A and B are shown apart, each in its own frame.
Chain A
Amino acid sequence: MSMLEVKDLSIHFGGVKAVQNVSFSIDAGIVYAVIGPNGAGKTTLFNLITGVYKPTSGEIKLDGESIGGKSPNELATRGVARTFQNLQICMNMSAIENVMVGAHLRLDRNLIKAALRLPSLKRRDAEMREEAAELMRFVGLDKFVDSRADAMPYGALKRLEIARALAMKPRLIFLDEPAAGLNANETIEVDHLVRKVADSGVTVVLVEHDMKMVMNLSERILVLDYGKKLAEGTGEEVRKNPDVIAAYLGAHE
């Protein structure tokens, strides 16, 4: 059985049909890519699956259980993590605290215990800080462990989002254009990082425009255009699909 199953998923914003009857399924342990021209509905699809938007119709199943319309924090409890295309970093916090927030559900959030600074809580927090530092090193942010979030460059913040998502210890992670706005070297580094994440046993779903990275990393690819599924398959299959070529290069009528 697939880990994630999406069936006839649609969302309409007024008259705009941003995602229309899209169906696909993702097996556990793979890297799955979603590609398509700008405005194809890739981020909207992510927002639907991660609970930020409620679908107009259709079904989303995680491990056979329906999750359509559930809130993002409920999905987080089921091991679904994500990053954002336009950064969503808490600039009012330090870099490492941003990562620690990722572990929210794994920590004791009791208000009274926190106010009294109980030793058990303090110890767990110190361990978490160490783990967060470790995660920052894992994503290549060794230099920024003691940094403020608002003092970090764009490329580093992109990785900080990945570290925060990993702090959840997710089973399924959605990466929304992790290489957007990065230079060639940084893109290669993120490519390696995504590979490392996948190798650690996390199922990765990727939206990305960098085709080299997509072809390099993903086992299967979903192509969207105008909110509709255009094609789905391995890199090779998608590359040869005439509809895909038409959408990307313009069709000969």
Chain B
Amino acid sequence: MKKNAYIGLYIVMAILVVLPFVVPNAFYLDLVIRMAINAVIVLGLNLLIGFAGQISLGHAGFLGIGAYASAVLPTHFGWHPVLAMLAGAVVTGLLAGLVARPIFKLKGHYLAMATLGLGIILNIALRNEAQWTGGPDGMPVPTMGLFGFELTSDKQWYWVVALLLSVSVWASLNLIDSPFGRALRALHGSEVASQVVGVDVVRYKVAIFVMSAVFASFMGSVTAHYVGFVTPNLADFFHSIELVTMVVIGGMASVYGSLVGAVLLTALPQALATFEGWETVAFGSILMLCMIFMPKGLVPTLAAKFGKGD
């Protein structure tokens, strides 16, 4: 990892500081907030997929756990939102660990299958347990507040999310360029080589999977409180695929690629809305062209072209 990797962080922070003053209206501010939330989720997912080489097809399920913990626990049980958020993260972490441990003892891409199943089961549970979750219609989420201060306006949310994003980029950069991160990348590069130098491969895969799941759960809670309403769509299979697509389009194993992927794929459906009815076709075509001409993803391809490391 080159020293200049952190320059990107300063650029991201500078953009985040300027952005709310140049955004024309509330619609765009909302779009930017959703981009930033997705970016944090995708950063966590990219650590798993891009850096450690393990695929999760059920990350929206973890997002759902966080979101519904923040909705159900305060509404039905009177929990404090912060406590509910932490509870969601803990449950997600335990569940992810429980699923991952036996899976990673097997060789091959069984995680993709297991997470696919897990995501679908979680989604079905959210749809069916209507007395708690409101079923397919979803349910409202109470306001997030701490020490008498309540997060209500989009401007407030923007700064919270911008801070979360900056910290996440910083932490990701740190992690990648550490003994832990090198072990992750090494087990992706050559599993047997990493084993013989002492990397406990199963432990590392479980650790990064749990971490990225907890990331998703936290951001699920944030999304729930920000939007003020949750529906099971947040946790469905298509959302999981969308998150994976963001990782792949932006660039696997690229921190800034995660941001670009999240920003583009959050904005693209909006931008394509003018195609009226053809937007799915346009969306799909763009993704296909990206993968044909830039199989490594946008940021790594462009970085290689202009001779700069990520």
Contacts and interface: CB of A to CB of B under 8 A. Distances in A.
B59 interface: no
B189 A109 contact: no
A3 interface: no
Contacts of B189: 89-93
B58 to A, nearest CB: 22
Given A97-B182, A110-B180, A116 B188 contact: no
A36 interface: no
Contacts of A98: 186
Interface string A66-97: 00000111011100011010001111110001
Given A92-B253, A116-B174, A107 B179 contact: yes
Contacts of A91: 189
B174 A102 contact: no
A117 interface: yes
Given A77-B198, A97-B182, A101-B182, A117 B192 contact: no
Contact of B171 (A88, A104, A116, A125): A116
Given A93-B185, A97-B182, A114-B181, A76 B192 contact: no
A155 to B, nearest CB: 18
Contacts, number: 112
Interface in B186-233: 186, 188-190, 192-201, 207, 211
Chain A, interface size category, equals 35 or more
A107 B188 CA distance: 20
Chain B residues touching A, majority SS:
helix
Contact of A52 (B1, B171, B196): B196
B178 interface: yes
Interface in A16-60: 50-52
Given A73-B201, A111-B207, A88 B193 contact: yes
B302 interface: no
Contact of B197 (A51, A52, A104, A116): A104
A148 B245 CA distance: 27
B174 A104 contact: no
Given A93-B185, A101-B182, A114-B175, A72 B190 contact: no
B195 A71 contact: yes
Interface of A: 50-52, 71-73, 75-77, 81-82, 84, 88-93, 97-98, 100-105, 107-111, 113-117, 121, 125, 164-165, 167-168
Given A75-B196, A116-B171, 10 more contacts: A90-B193, A93-B182, A93-B186, A100-B179, A103-B179, A104-B182, A104-B199, A117-B170, A117-B174, A121-B179
30 contacts: A51-B196, A52-B192, A52-B195, A72-B195, A76-B196, A76-B197, A76-B198, A88-B192, A89-B190, A90-B185, A90-B186, A90-B190, A93-B182, A93-B189, A101-B186, A101-B193, A102-B197, A104-B182, A104-B194, A107-B179, A109-B180, A110-B180, A111-B211, A115-B171, A115-B174, A121-B179, A164-B193, A164-B197, A165-B197, A168-B198
Nearest 5 CB-CB pairings of A with B? A90-B189, A76-B198, A114-B178, A88-B193, A72-B195
